[in-house]
Amino acid sequence: AQSVTQLGSHVSVSEGALVLLRCNYSSSVPPYLFWYVQYPNQGLQLLLKYTTGATLVKGINGFEAEFKKSETSFHLTKPSAHMSDAAEYFCAVRTTGANSKLTFGKGITLSVRP
Amino acid sequence: GAGVSQTPSNKVTEKGKYVELRCDPISGHTALYWYRQSLGQGPEFLIYFQGTGAADDSGLPNDRFFAVRPEGSVSTLKIQRTERGDSAVYLCASARGGSEETQYFGPGTRLLVL
């Protein structure tokens, strides 16, 4: 079984500040890991994903995440927040096997203060 | 190209009624997924199709829920005898296939059962 933990439901940062959204996962097999962003009244958009290879993954809009197997973490970061980053962010995990359903965390709402 | 589309975008129904939710995947995508997102939660897996067949329906909550994909393209999620607890956003995603597939999500159908 797989699970994802996103601690806290809301993060608020100032424009230009570092964004750090935490994600820890549980998986009995090597996972594939994803971050999705959801803007109000829109569908989920893929920010970045880790499958194999380099553990530091760069995504769209200046976001990146690092897969740390020893810590079972996949935290999302962005050096400088922009007002347009305000949205809900979901971390997800799936196995590399044939059943490729995603298991999502509860999500974190990011607010950006001017 | 066109993304995943879902219709209707909003559906209001009365308790006990039958509803159908439609998903048009990205052309050429063989894998199709349905998820349900309740307020304040991450999406939860319902069912996964590979082609015309349901490869995994372990997430369907009970026998009131059923989904079909008769020609391997469009899918319909059917809910019988709706209950107030069925109110949620129903998300559809499609993927090309392969072990490192990315799931692309539609905007969702917001279902409200009165």
Instruction: Measure the CA–CA gap between B80 and B65, rounded to whole angstroms.
Output: 7
* CA atoms of A92 and A99, how far apart (whole Å): 14
Among A51-60, A102-111, B52-61, the range of highest mean pLDDT: A102-111
- Tell me how far CA of residue A6 lies from CA of A10, A89, A104, A107, B101, in angstroms: 10, 10, 9, 6, 23
Interface test with B, best of A102, A103, A106, A108 (most B CBs within 10 A): A102
* Position with higher pLDDT, A8 vs B5: B5
For residues B12-24, give the mean pLDDT.
Answer: 98
**Is the per-residue pLDDT at A98 higher than 60?**
no
Contacts of A102 in chain B (CB under 8 A): 33, 35, 43, 45, 103
Average pLDDT over residues B62-77: 95
Q: CB A99 to CB B103 under 8 A?
A: no
Q: What is the pLDDT of residue A43?
A: 87
Nearest alpha-carbon partner for B97 in B80, B72, B77: B72
Q: pLDDT tens digits, residue range A18-37?
A: 999 999 999 877 789 999 99
Residue of B nearest to A109 (CA): B40
Q: Beta B109-113 vs B53-56: how paired, if at all?
A: unpaired
- CA end-to-end span of chain A: 41
Tell me what the mean pLDDT of segment B21-39 comes to. Answer: 94
Cα separation values, A61 from A37, A58, A103, A110, B88, Å: 11, 9, 24, 15, 29
Cα separation, B90 vs B34, whole angstroms: 7
Closest CB to B42 among A32, A51, A90: A90
Residue with tokens 């006990």: B16
Better pLDDT: B2 or B52: B52
Average pLDDT over residues B8-17: 97
Query: Are β-strands A31-38 and A87-95 bridged in parallel, bridged antiparallel, or unpaired?
Result: antiparallel
Strand ranges for chain A from DSSP E:
3-5, 10-14, 19-21, 24-26, 31-38, 44-50, 56-58, 64-68, 73-78, 87-95, 103-104, 108-113
Say if the Cβ atoms of B40 and A52 lie within 8 Å.
no
Residues in chain A: 114
Buried b (16+ CB within 10 A) or exposed e, A62-77: ebbbebeeeeebbbbe
Check if A103 contacts B (Cβ < 8 Å).
yes
Residue A51 has its nearest CB partner, among B4, B95, B100, at B100
Distance (Å, rounded) from C-alpha B105 to C-alpha B97?
15
Q: List, as ranges, residues 10-69 from A with C-beta within 8 Å of B.
A: 32, 36, 41-46, 49, 51-52
Report the half-sphere exposure of A92 (CA within 13 A, side-chain side): 26
Using one digit for the tens of pLDDT, what is the confidence trace for A50-66? 988 889 999 999 999 99
Contacts of A107 in chain B (CB under 8 A): 41-42
- Residue found under tokens 């553990």: A55
Q: Report CB contact under 8 Å: A44, B91.
A: yes
Please report the pLDDT score of residue B7 as a whole number: 97
pLDDT-derived band at B8, boundaries 50, 70, 90? very high
Helix (H, G, I), strand (E, B) or coil at B20: strand
Most confident of A45-59, B44-58, B79-93: B79-93
pLDDT at A97: 65
Are the C-beta atoms of A2 and A94 separated by less than 8 Å?
yes
